[in-house]
Amino acid sequence: MTIRVYSDGQVRAPGDATVPVFDRGFLFGDSVYETVGTNRGKPIFLADHMDRLARSAERLFLRLPDRDFIERAVAATLAAVDNAESRIRIIVTRGDGPVDLDPASAGEPRLVVIVQPLGGPSPEMYEKGVQVEIVSVARNSPQALDPAIKSGNYLNNVLAIGEARRRRPTAHEAILCAAHGSVAEGASSNLFAVVGGEIRTPSLQVGILDGVTRGKVVALARGDHMPLREVDFMSPDELRQANEVFLTSSVRNILPVVQVDGITVGDGKPGPMTKRLMALYRQLVEAET
Ligand code: PDD
C-alpha cells in the first residue's frame, strides 16, 4: 500500500511533496479538484472527470494545464504505487500570488496529483447499509458558490459532516438540503430514494454536484426501464419515509442507506432496486475498465 504525490513536475513520496504557503489553493481554497477511483488499477470514467474538471475551472476563470499533461501526470503517479485499488485526487490551484483576492494577481496554475489506497466503504457497509443524518447546514446557494463547481472550497461540506458526526458518531454521511428546503446531496455524494416504486434523485436545478456516478446510475436505470425521475423538490420527510435510499460517488460507487436520522429505511436492509443498480453498475465499471 503506497501513497505517491505528483508535485512540481515529479512523482514523490508524500513527505517530499510540498505546496508554497502563498499558493491560492491554501490561502483561499482557490482551486478545482476531482476524485477518481480505480478498478483493476485503471481509473474509472477518467474522461468524465477530466470534462468536469474543465467545466469547474471554466466557471472559476481558472486556467488549467493541458489535458494531456494532467493525464500523463495521473498515469505516472498511478504507475508508482502498488495498491490493490487507488483513489486519485487531481488538484489544480490558481497558483501563487500575493495575499490578495484578485485572481489576476496569480502566477501559473499548480497541478498536484495524490494517489493513495482507495479506502472505500467496507464489504459490510455495502451488505448492511449505512446511516445518514440530514443536517441543518444548508448547501451553498448556486448564486453564491454553485455546488456544480467542484472547487477546493469544501467548508460547507466540512461543516455538514461535523454536524452529522456530533449528532450521531456512527453517521456515514451528512445530507444537506438546499436553502429552499429540498434535499440536495451528501457532503461528498449524490443521493437517490425509492418512493412508491419510483427512483427519485434531486435534479441539477436543486443545486448539487453533477456527479459522474449519479449520471451513470440515471442512464443505467433508464436503460433497464426502471422508473426514475429527477425531481426539483424532495422533502426531508420523503427521504425519511422512503422505501430505499442509496448514495453514489466515485469512491463509494453505489452505497445503500438503511437509516435516515435514526429512522429505519424500508425493512432495514438494502432494497431490491438498490441491489439491481449495484449489480448493473459493477458490470458497467468492469466493461469500462
Ligand atoms: N466527492 N456531491 C459532492 C458534494 C461530492 O463531493 C461528490 C464527490 C459527489 C459525487 O460525485 P462523483 O460521483 O462524481 O464522485 C457528489 C468525491 C468523492 C470527493 O469529495 O472526494
Residue closest to 19 by CA, chosen among 109, 86, 104, 116: 109
Tens of pLDDT, residue by residue over 138-183, are 999 999 999 999 999 999 999 999 999 999 999 999 999 999 999 9
62, 77 Cβ separation under 8 angstroms: no
pTM of the model: 0.97
Question: Is 90 exceeded by the pLDDT of residue 131?
Answer: yes
Pocket test residue of 33, 35, 38, 183 for ligand 1, highest count of atoms within 8 A of CB: 35
Residue closest to 125 by CA, chosen among 286, 285, 257: 257
Handedness of CA 63, 68, 70, 73 (dihedral sign): negative
Handedness of CA 22, 23, 26, 30 (dihedral sign): positive
252 Cα nearest atom in ligand 1? 18
Tens of pLDDT, residue by residue over 43-88, are 999 999 999 999 999 999 999 999 999 999 999 999 999 999 999 9
Mean pLDDT of the chain: 97
Q: Whose CA is nearest to atom 1 of ligand 1?
A: 188
Quick one: angle between helices 46-59 and 212-223, nearest 10? 130
Selected catalytic residue, list 42, 150, 216, 275? 150
- Rounded to whole angstroms, the Cα distance separating 185 from 52 reads 18
Strand partners, 115: 4, 88
Q: Whose CA is nearest to atom 11 of ligand 1?
A: 211
